[in-house]
Amino acid sequence: MAEGGRNINRMAYFVEGSTVQVGRSTVDQHCALTLDASQELEFFNSDPSTTAEVLLLQGRPIGEPVAQHGPFVMNTQSEIQQAFADYRKTQFGGWPWPQDAMIFPRDKSRFALVNGTEIFPPRAEAEL
């Protein structure tokens, strides 16, 4: 049960497995479920021969208008139009590589390109 109860949006996404028990209901298709955050609910893997995965997301509504188009999410349609104009003008700073589908060698570790200089994070011990 979430603090804030019905004022909280809660969704569960059944993404892996054959069946999952959600409360008294059996779900046998991968889907999104809208849940009442003011109620307790238990999830059980109905098929122990497979792994079941459920992604549970919840949040308090932001109380603002939401406009969405393609990858852009803003508050108004005019902000969406501005985001498209900015993208067309600069492609958000430009693509610094010579090919659209740039593929780096497998042995090149993660990096960020900052002002034309490659910055490498410290290598983790588990990273090979």
Q: What is the CA radius of gyration of the chain?
A: 22
Task: State whether 20 and 55 are in the same domain.
Answer: yes
Domain that holds residue 93: 65-97
115 found inside a domain: no
72 found inside a domain: yes
82 found inside a domain: yes
* Distance (Å, whole) CA 125 – CA 103: 25
Q: What is the pTM of this model?
A: 0.56
In the chain, the amino acid numbered 24 is: R
pLDDT, tens only, 26-84: 999 999 999 999 999 999 998 989 999 999 999 999 899 999 998 899 999 999 999 99
